[in-house]
Amino acid sequence: MPQIAQILETWSSQVFWLLVVFGAVFFVIGRGMVPRVMDNIGMRDKQIADDLAAAQAARDAADEQEDAWRKRENENRAAAQALVHEAKAKAATSAEAKLATVQAAIDTQAAEAEARIAAASHAAAAEIEAVASEAAQDIVARLAGVKVTKSVAGAAVKKAMMANG
């Protein structure tokens, strides 16, 4: 077994070169390169975490804006509906008022017309009476040869007409 057979001549060179080489490995690779590799890993992890946080923040902001938009939209809708209501109510009242005035005008016109009709029918009745009484005077004068005064004839006609309705 050379490990034991050669130990006396080789141990010092083994120890020396191991310390030299392992020292170099430790200082150059262990202290020099490993921390940089690990820094890089840490940096990447941090960047990923930051990106995720930024994405979350953007998402939250978007949600917030959507909520605000929804709220505004609802308010706008409510306002629009109120406006429509008001317009409807206004239109209804103005229509009612117009109808009322028109109705009143029509009523007065109708009343006037009725009055006129009544007057005309009165006048017509009076004329009929006058014509009837003249005709009655005439008929009486021709048939009976009696001269009847206009007033008597008129009274008689009036009486007859009343009786006939």
Partner 1 sequence: MHQFTIEPLFGSGGWELAGYNIAFTNSALWMAISAIALWVFMFGGMKRELVPGRWQMAVESFTGFVDDMLEANVGKAGRKYVPYIFSLFMFILFANLLGLMPLGVVGVHPFTFTSHFTVTGVLAIMSFSIVLIVGFWKHGLHFFSLFVPQGTPLPMIPIIFPIELISFLVRPFSLGLRLFVAMMAGHVLLEVLSSFVIDGMNAFSSGIGPVVGVLSFILMIGICALEILVAGIQAYVFALLSSLYINDAENLH
Q: Which is nearer to partner 1, 13 or 151 (CB)?
A: 13
> Site map for partner 1, 1-40, x if CB under 8 A?
xxx--xx-xxxxxxxxxxx-xx-xxx-xxxx-xxxxxx-x
- Cβ distance 148 to 136 under 8 Å? yes
Tokens of 109: 């016109």
CB 148 within 8 A of CB 141: yes
Element (H, E) at 132: helix 34-143
Residue 38 or 106 having the CB closest to partner 1: 38
Q: Of the two residues 6 and 94, which places its CB atom closer to partner 1 in the complex?
A: 6
Site for partner 1 contains 80 (CB under 8 A): no
Distances (CA, A) of 160 to 45, 116, 153: 126, 26, 10
**Cα(55)–Cα(60) distance, rounded to whole angstroms?**
9
Counting contacts by CB under 8 A, is residue 45 touching partner 1?
no
List of residues contacting partner 1 (CB under 8 A): 1-3, 6-7, 9-19, 21-22, 24-26, 28-31, 33-38, 40-41, 44, 47
